[in-house]
Amino acid sequence: MTTHTLSVLAENKPGVLSHIAGLFSRRAFNISSLAVGPTQDERVSRFTIVVDGASTPVDQVSKQLEKLVRVLKVVQLSEGAAVERELALIKVRADPALRGQLLEVAGVFGASVVDMSPTTLVLEAVSSPAKLDALLAMLDSYGTCELVRTGRIALARGASVITDGGPALQAVPDAADTAA
């Protein structure tokens, strides 16, 4: 499955998430993953949206997103030229006899143990989506009891910044005028 990662800067105002989510549903675009949070500028939220390239015309998605009044900027991150990360918490069955093996697997993937019970472990893994998939596949044979995984977040590699070529964050007027 070819996926496309879109970084979207939007005004941090009520209703922005539903405008963006509503657009996807209205245009019959599919969201594979969505992550949203604040940026260094409290007036601006950043959405990272992953879409399935086969079912969704990504250029059309970008253009429609750009038309939303509260959206400031849409950038398509090209694969390989961006750092992409997901966070997962995994509760996995861990009988005392297998615990050592499990810790070894976790170590290979750079996952850390954040909780432990007599029969389970909770692992925290932060990695690229592909590596995370590999870890999950490994853990399956031990028995994954529960899994929670965030949407993907991504940043372009190198010195380029999403606001290059404007509209810049500075274009947003004083925070005092935009009380959410």
Partner 1 sequence: MHELTGAQALVRSLEHEGVEVVFGLPGGTILPTYDPLLSSSLRHVLVRHEQGAGHAAEGYAWATGRPGVCMATSGPGATNLVTALSDAYMDSVPMVAITGQVGTSLIGTDAFQEADITGITLPITKHNEIVTSVERIPAAVAEAFHIATTGRPGPVLIDVPKDVQQNTGSVDWPAQMDLPGYQVPGPPSPAAIRAAAALLLQARRPVLYVGGGVIKSDSHQDLLRLAELTRAPVTTTLMARGAFPDSHPLALGMPGMHGTYPAVSALQEADLVVALGARFDDRVTGKLADFAPRARIVHADIDPAEIGKNRAPDVAIVGDLRLTMAGLADAMAAALSDGGTRPDTGDWLSILDGWKRQFPLRYSQDADGPLKPQYVTERLSALTGGDAIIVAGVGQHQMHAAQHYGFTRPRSWINSGGAGTMGFAVPAAMGAQVGRPGETVVAIDGDGCFQMTAQELATCAIEKIPIKVLIFNNGFLGMVRQWQELFYDERYSSVELGTAIPDYVKLAEAYGCVGLRCDRADEVDTILDKALAPSDVPVVVDFRTHDREGVFPMVPAGRPNDDIVLGPEFSADEQRAATRREMGI
Structure token digits, residue 116: 């432990």
The length of the chain, given as a count of residues: 180
CB of 54 to partner 1, least distance (A): 18
State which residue, 18 or 141, has the beta carbon closest to partner 1: 18
Could you list the residues that contact partner 1 (CB under 8 A)? 10-11, 14-15, 18-19, 22-23, 25-26, 59-60, 63-64, 66-73, 167, 171-173, 177-178
- At position 122, the amino acid (one-letter code) is V
Tokens 């297998």 correspond to 98
CB of 166 to partner 1, least distance (A): 10
Tokens 């959405």 correspond to 47
State which residue, 161 or 180, has the beta carbon closest to partner 1: 180
CB of 129 to partner 1, least distance (A): 29
State which residue, 46 or 73, has the beta carbon closest to partner 1: 73
CB of 24 to partner 1, least distance (A): 10
Give φ, ψ of 69 to 5 degrees: -60, -35
CB of 19 to partner 1, least distance (A): 6
Q: Quote the CA–CA distance of 73 and 156 in Å, as a whole number.
A: 15
Q: Quote the CA–CA distance of 52 and 180 in Å, as a whole number.
A: 32
CB burial readout 10-31, b (16+ within 10 A) else e: bbbeeebeeebeebbeeeebeb
State which residue, 63 or 157, has the beta carbon closest to partner 1: 63
State which residue, 6 or 94, has the beta carbon closest to partner 1: 6
